[in-house]
Amino acid sequence: MNSVVSKEQEIPAFRPLGMNPLKFSAWLFIVSIIMVFASLTSAFIVRRSEGNWLEFELPILFWYNTVLLLLSSVTMHFSYLQAKKDNFTQLKIGIFFTAILGIGFLILQFYGWIALVDNKVFLVGNPAGSFVYILSGLHGAHIIAGVIFLLIVFIMVFQDKIHSKKMLWIEICTTFWHFLDGLWLYLFLFLILNR
């Protein structure tokens, strides 16, 4: 028998994952957030089926802040494209406006909660109201983290740490921001369809 192994029969060498560890960590973080919100929306459905559920309309401000968040995705993607082109002025403007829109979202969210209180929907009391506050509040906490991340990236642009040859941080930030926008759309549609 021939003990020589041909090249076609060689066992392929182990190749490590071709993803940057920071990107991989960001994706793990995103998956963990998805799991948290999936469990909360599942709990919402289970609890709603048990009865004693308050029916109410979401404040109109929730619609407005949804528009703000969608606009922030546009400005974030614009920022990413400007980083690829080394257009630093436009990159700074895009990140700045993305952060402003994110802060605007949080402000409208707060006033949306005030509108809920005015309609006698409270955090404590009927679970329908509690779920709205918890889901929107937890998402808002992630938006705060996203705005902080944007500010860090903004500073990195001024330090010449982000450009067409160093896209890692702007890529992670863009992915996270788009995820937060998509998550809000899911939550918003979920709350509208499951009032």
3-class SS at 3? coil
d(CA 152, CA 170): 10
Kindly state the tokens that stand for 135.
Answer: 């889901």
10 Å CB burial of residue 157 (0-12, 13-18, 19+) is buried
Q: Give the residue, 13 or 3, on which the prediction is more confident.
A: 13
Rounded to two decimals, what is the model's pTM? 0.89
- Say whether pLDDT at 10 is over 80: no
Tell me which CATH code domain 57-193 carries: 1.20.120.80
Which pLDDT band, with edges at 50, 70 and 90, does 51 fall under? confident
Q: Quick one: CA torsion of 186, 121, 39, 47, rounded to 10 degrees?
A: -120
Run of H or E residues at 6: none
Give me the pLDDT at residue 6, please. 53
- Say whether pLDDT at 4 is over 60: no
pLDDT in tens, 132-145: 999 999 999 999 99
Q: Give the residue, 12 or 174, on which the prediction is more confident.
A: 174
Which pLDDT band, with edges at 50, 70 and 90, does 14 fall under? low
Give me the pLDDT at residue 8, please. 54
- Say whether pLDDT at 48 is over 80: yes
Which pLDDT band, with edges at 50, 70 and 90, does 7 fall under? low
Which pLDDT band, with edges at 50, 70 and 90, does 159 fall under? very high
Mean pLDDT score of the chain = 92
Which pLDDT band, with edges at 50, 70 and 90, does 125 fall under? confident
